[in-house]
Structure formats: structure tokens, C-alpha cells
Amino acid sequence: MSAMTNLISGIADYAPMLVRKPAPKFVSREGNRIYGIVAEFGETPAVYKAAQAVRDAGYRRWDVHSPFPVHGMEEAMGMKTTKLPLIAGGAAICGVLFAIFLQWITSGVLYPMVTQGKPYAAWEPFLPITFELGVLFTAFACLFGMLALNGLPRFHHPLFSHERFYRVSNDRFMIAIEAEDANFDPDKTRALLEQAGGDHITIIEEED
Amino acid sequence: MTARDPDQQNDARLTGLDAGSQPAPRPNRTIGGGKDDGTLIEDPGKRAPLVLGDRSFGDVTDIVCGYAEAPMPKPWLAMFTITSTIAALGTGMILYLIITGVGVWGLNNQVDWAWDITNFVFWIGIGHAGTLISAILCLLKQNWRTAVNRSAEAMTIFAVVCAGIFPGVHVGRVWFAWMLFPIPNSNAIWPNFRSPLLWDVFAVSTYATVSLLFWYMGMIPDVATLRDRAQLRLNRGLSRPFAIPMPVGKDIVVPFLPRPDTLRALIYGFASLGWRFSSRHWHRYEKAYLMLAGISTPLVLSVHSIVSFDFATSILPGWHTTIFPPYFVAGAVFGGFAMVLLLLIPIRAILPNFSDLLTLRHLENMAKIILVTGTMVGFAYSMEFFIAWYGANQFEFEAFANNRVNPNVAPYWWAYWTMIICNVVFPQLFWMRAMRQNPVVIWIVALAVTIGMWFERFVIIVTSLHRAFIPGEWHMFFPTWVDILTFVGSCGIFATLFLLFLKFLPVFAIAEVKVVMPQSHTSDDH
């Protein structure tokens, strides 16, 4: 699947009024687009091993859903480290520069005011606010950068149509492999998940 | 344990949830008593369990969500009625002040900061425990923090709300409060960035914002859990109809209003932003959490340092000292932990299953922090006094010896000695193991510390101001009824917000508690 199709498909997830999704690879008997296949696991070690198996089978568009962040799952899934720290660092620099500019332009240029005979634009008294604004910008970047990279908020998702998925927030683990993955094959993928010990293996359809 | 179909088990549990039911409490739990609950192991080779009673992941979810989903309990309603009345009284006092002017307070020419700024520093200090627990203890990998961080962060935000009221209204003409912020205006006047009071505006508003973001981010997965449970109950026809809670007797059912679960699915659904518990999301979430913890750690230390600059950068004897920043930070952590304990110990007794998640070990750990920070505060008191003598500044020495300590000449000696007894003497009880393992004793000490910390700010502010350099400037401060009721009202606002939090939001960080349970390990050999 090319990068362009991926992009169009991603835009269609959030703004279906703008673009149509590319033609699906698999459809159900009723003609619905197939989102993917999910398998449930009851224990942390089981889902951890299953994730390693799915990674080794060469899948790329898949995910593990767990009620809490499982330690070491990044490695078991073969995930790349997130770029979030770069975003946060950039925001920190912006915050610091903005604070310095704001204080310099107001105290030094726009409204110079004699205070205890000190220079108008001395840098020392600007330090506390420079620090605070740096922290403020970083904090916003952390939360909103995390949400943006995660593609949230997204209130509608094919997985929410699967009732058993709601138990992931309680005590179950779920592996979902998307139909858009190049390796996806309804029978082979199901066999892989069965072999990995998953139960309640279900095909998820998208309702258009 | 007999093997049951997980579907059946889940259905049974959800059916039980109809009445806001809880998993069965452990038979041997200890509430209020000083007995060991199995977590007070002194053997360094053994790790004390963080969750008691052989709880499963599902049990933890049920315990925390059960209370948030249950119909409003009668004691909660009674408490809420009282606290919201007090909060309304406080709001009325603020309105009265705005309508009439700051003259309704006991401030005078000499003591122009008194209860208002005392209350401000008191509340902002209390607000420091939440971020300390979530940020510093997170960086130090203290897993026990998972049981207390959510409620401590909530407490932080509510305390900052209370703190924000006082500097906001004590400026007199509150409709000019926007002048605190650097907003372009037609007079071409800008705030003075060389004033610590302006640093304070930035520090406190940054702190409030970052704490709120931190709290909200931590809650996204847990609110998603509440959303999913509400949706499941709706799907299976298990949800209750809307009922107007009554303080006595049966609740009045209103069938034509939307069911509470419909509202939950909507509101919690909106607040959880469509969180799907995806591992790819968790990875970025954990990174974001770690970075927030990293930047909140210096932030929490900076905020009370900057609050202390309000005083330390002046030339007033008793304020003009370099020890203020570390001394204020230690005091803030001290007072904040005391407030956490003051709130959590009764909750642990009232909601029995919470004592499985919040064990005696947690209380003991916090008691140890109280002891450490209390001793630091005591050291700061003595060092302040020592420097007043050693520095050979006559005015500074007088400010301590004859304005605070000496009962024969200092009018506010009782405030000073209340502070010393509550803040320095009481926490020393925690050197004894039996004392720091007894929730009742911890609660009493926490109460003493909270009182003592209010008096500390009163001593710093009022006793330094009431006698400045020349006797012609000397003036006593007497609070008016408006002063007193505004402070009481701010306590009401705090308590009301906390009660709302207890009822409607996940009081424990469900996902984080699950991480520290042994079942979360990825290998079988645990």
C-alpha cells in the first residue's frame, strides 16, 4: 500500500466528507469493508508472547490493546521510539524565546519604567518568567503532541463496534491486525492468532 | 477457584453493578486500628504488596468504578449539603467584598497583607503535594505513589482554585485584575516584569495549568474505563433510570429523563477523547507522562520559591532572608502531605474496599515524608532565628525575639508557639513505629500540621508587618467576621470540589495501579 493511499485513508478516517476511502482489499458478505481481525487474551504473558509472534510474522499495521501499559511491549511489537520529545523540546525553546521577547519588548522598549535604578532590560529579573513559560509551553506540547501523534480525539472507530472490545478497559487484552496490512490474509492471520493462543477471534467490519 | 466462563463472570459482575456494588471486602481488613495489614514488612529483601486481598484486574476496576457509579450515598449527600452551603457562604463573602470594598476586611495602614495572603500561601502550599507525588515520586520510581497520586492531584487543583481567589480579590477593584497580565491596552501600560508579584502571577497560573493538564492526562484512560462500562450496561439493558437523590427516604425516579449511563457514556466518552487502550498510544502516553513529570519537578520547586520572593525581596525585617525559598518549599510539601492524609484516612475508613489499594504502608510512607519535611521546617525556623542573631541586624533580631517568641512583649507569641508545637513537635511522634503505623495518630498529626502551617504563614505575614522600623508605624491586626467567613468559605469550596471528585471521577489511577500488580508482569515466573 503506497504512502499516498495511506494518507487518503487516514484523512478519510477523520473527515469522511473530504475524501473517499480507497477501495477495500476485503469485504464481508454483506458488502461491508473489513477493518481487520481481533483476538483476545486473558493474561499478560500470553499477549506478550503473541505480540512477539505477530511481529515476527512481519505485520506492520496492527496493535495490542491492553488495560494498562505493558512493560516491554514496545520491543515485543517492534515499535519505533516516538518523536514526542523533539516536539516538546521545540515547544520549550519557543516558550523561552517568547518569554524573553515579551519581557524585553515591554520592559525595555514599549514601557521603560525606573525600578530601583536598575537597567530597563536587565536579564536577571526575567529568569523566573522565562522558566515558567518554557515549562508551560512544554506541558501543552506534551499533552497535545501526544494526542496528535495518537490521532486523538477520534470518537468513532471500527473497534468500538465490537462489544467485547469494551472489556479491554477492564481486564482483557486484544490484538488487532488491520486488513490494510500487506501480509493480511483472513485465513492465515486467523491461524496465526489461533496458534498464538488468542480466543474469540473475530473479523471486524466497518459500517459505511 | 472454580473455572467459570469469563462471559458469565463478566455478566454477573455487571449485573451486580446495578446497585453500585463492590467486590466482597476482605474479611481481615483493618480499618482505623493500628494492626498490621500485611504491608508493614521490615525485611528489606521482601517487597510489600501494593494491592491487598488477592485482587484481580477486574476487582480493581470494580472497586474504583463502583463508587463512581453507585447512586449518591446518603452520607455523601449530607456532607455535600453542608460543604456546598459553606462554599456558598464564602462566595457571598467575596461578593460582599467586591460590592463594598476591601475595608470589610481587618486590613489597616500598617498590616496591609493579613488573612488574605495568609490564606493564599496556605492553599498554594497545600497544592504542592499533588505534583510532588505525581512528578518527583514518578521520577524516583516510587511505585506506591500510584495509590495516592490521583486524589493528591485533584486536591492540588482544588487548593490552587482556593488560592487563586485571594490575590484576585484583595487587589480591591477586581475589575482591574486583568492588569496583572501583559495584555496590550489603550493606555499603553505594561506590567513591571521586575516585580516578584508579577513572577507570582506567572508561576501560579503556570502551576495551575500544568497541574490540570497532568491530572487530565492521567485520567484519560480511567475515564475511558468508566465510558466503556456505561456503554456495556446500556447495551445489555442493565442501567438504572434517572433518580433525584433524596437526603432521606427513597430517591425519586424520573423515567423520562436520560439514564445516568447515557449521560456517562456521553460525558466520559467526550472527556476520554476516544481512547482505545492501544499499545502504540500507551507508548507515547508514557513518554508524555515522563516528560511532564520531568518538567513538573523543577516547576513545583519554583512555584513556592517564587511565592517566597514576594516576601524575601522586600526589606522588611522577618521577610528579608535568603532561607525563604527552600524553607517555603519544604513547608509546602509538609503541609500538602498533611492535607492528603487528612482527606485520605477518613475515605479509607468510609469506603472499605479502598483500604486494599491504599494500605497502611502508603500511610506510613507519607508519615515518614511528614517527619522529614517537618524536621526540615524546624531546622529552617531555628536557622532563621540563628541568622537574626548572628547577622547582628538589630531590627531583624527584634522582629524574631520581641515580636514573635517572647510571650512577655510579643503580642503574637501565641501564634508563634502554636506554629512551633504543631509543625515541629507533633511530627516528631513519627520516630516511633507504632505511631506512624496508626491511622488515627497520623490523622491527628496531619490535622495539627495543617493548623500549624496556616499559623506559619500568619506569623510570617502579620507579625513581620505589624511592627516595622519605627514604633509610630506599629499597629495590631484584628480579623473581621468577613475575614473569618471568607477563609471558612474557601475551605467549603475546597471540600465541595473534593466531594464532587470522589463521587464522579476515578479516585485511584486504575491503569497505574494495574501496572504495579504482579499479574502485569510479562513473564510467568513471578
The residue among B129, B201, B213, B130 whose CA lies nearest residue A138 is B213
What is the maximum span of chain A, computed from C-alpha positions, in angstroms? Answer: 83
Q: Which residue has the cell 520559591?
A: B305
Cβ-defined contact of A157 to B195 (cutoff 8 Å) = no
The residues, any chain, with a CB within 8 Å of residue B457's CB and separated by 6 or more, are B117, B118, B121, B122, B125
* Cβ B151 vs Cβ B340: under 8 Å: yes
Cross-chain residue pair A65–B56, CB shorter than 8 Å: no
Q: Which chain B residue has its CA at the smallest distance from A46's CA?
A: B522
8 Å CB contact of A73 and B229:
no
Contacts A43 to B, Cβ<8 Å: 519
* Residue B446 · residue B339 · CB < 8 Å: yes
Q: Do A132 and B188 touch (CB under 8 A)?
A: no
Rg of chain A over CA atoms, in angstroms?
Answer: 25
Q: A169 to chain B: nearest residue by CA?
A: B225
- A66 contacts A171 by C-beta, under 8 angstroms: no
The pLDDT > 90 percentage for chain B reads 33
CB contact under 8 A, A106 and B193: yes
H or E element in which residue A41 lies: strand A33-41
Apex B384 CA angle, B379 and B388, nearest 5: 145
d(CA A141, CA B211): 14
Spatial distance between the Cα atoms of B356 and B24, rounded to a whole number of angstroms: 11
Q: What is the pLDDT of residue B2?
A: 39
- Hey, are the CB atoms on B277 and A168 less than 8 Å from each other? yes
B190 contacts A152? CB cut-off 8 A? no
The nearest CA of chain A is from the CA of B77 a distance in Å of: 29
pLDDT tens digits along B361-395: 888 889 999 999 999 999 999 998 899 899 888 88
- Which among B270, B279, B309 is the nearest to A64, CB-wise? B279
B263 touches chain A (CB under 8 A): no
pLDDT of res. B487: 93
Quick one: pLDDT at residue B95? 92
CA dihedral B445, B447, B453, B458 (to 10 degrees): -130
| Residues with pLDDT less than 70, chain A | 1, 208
pLDDT range class, residue B426, cuts 50, 70, 90: very high
Task: Check residue B5 and give its pLDDT.
Answer: 55
> Would you place residue B267 in the very low, low, confident or very high pLDDT band (cuts 50, 70, 90)?
very high
The reply to whether B397 touches chain A by the CB within 8 Å rule is no
Residues of A in contact with B229 (CB under 8 A): 166, 169-170
Region of B411 please: left (phi>0), alpha (psi -120 to 50) or beta.
alpha
**Helix segments in chain A, DSSP class H:** 3-14, 44-56, 73-77, 84-104, 127-150, 186-195
Which amino acid appears at position B34 of this protein?
G
Minimal Cα–Cα distance from B521 to chain A, Å? 7
d(CA B515, CA B286): 12
A149–chain B Cβ distance below 8 A for any pair: yes
**Antiparallel, parallel or unpaired: β A62-65 and B243-244:** unpaired
DSSP line for B388-410: HHHTT-HHHHHHHIIIII-TTT-
Judge contact between A93 and A110, C-beta under 8 A.
no
Radius of gyration of chain B (CA): 25
Residue (of B405, B346, B463, B453) closest to B128 by Cα position:
B453
| ipTM confidence | 0.92
Residue B61 in grid coordinates = 476496576
Is residue A165 within 8 A of residue A66, CB to CB? The reply is no
pLDDT tens-digit map of B320-345? 888 889 988 899 889 989 999 999 88
What's the pLDDT at B15?
44
Q: How far is CA A43 from CA A172, A173, A205, in A?
A: 7, 7, 26
Nearest to B239 by CA among B265, B214, B278, B221: B265
Cβ–Cβ under 8 Å, residues B84 and B503: no
Mean pLDDT on B470-483: 88
How far apart are alpha carbons A31 and A196 in whole angstroms? 29
Q: Collect all residues of chain A within an 8 Å Cβ-Cβ radius of residue B295.
A: 92, 135, 138-139, 142
Which domains are assigned to chain A?
3-13+28-67+171-206 (3.30.70.120), 84-150 (no CATH)
Q: Residue B34 pLDDT more than 60? A: no
- Does A68 reach chain B within 8 Å, measured CB to CB? yes
Give yes or no for A153 touching B (CB within 8 A): yes
Residue B360, CA distances (Å) to A33, A143, B147, B160 in order: 54, 34, 12, 28
Whole-model pTM? 0.89
Average pLDDT, chain B: 85
pLDDT at B293 over 80: yes
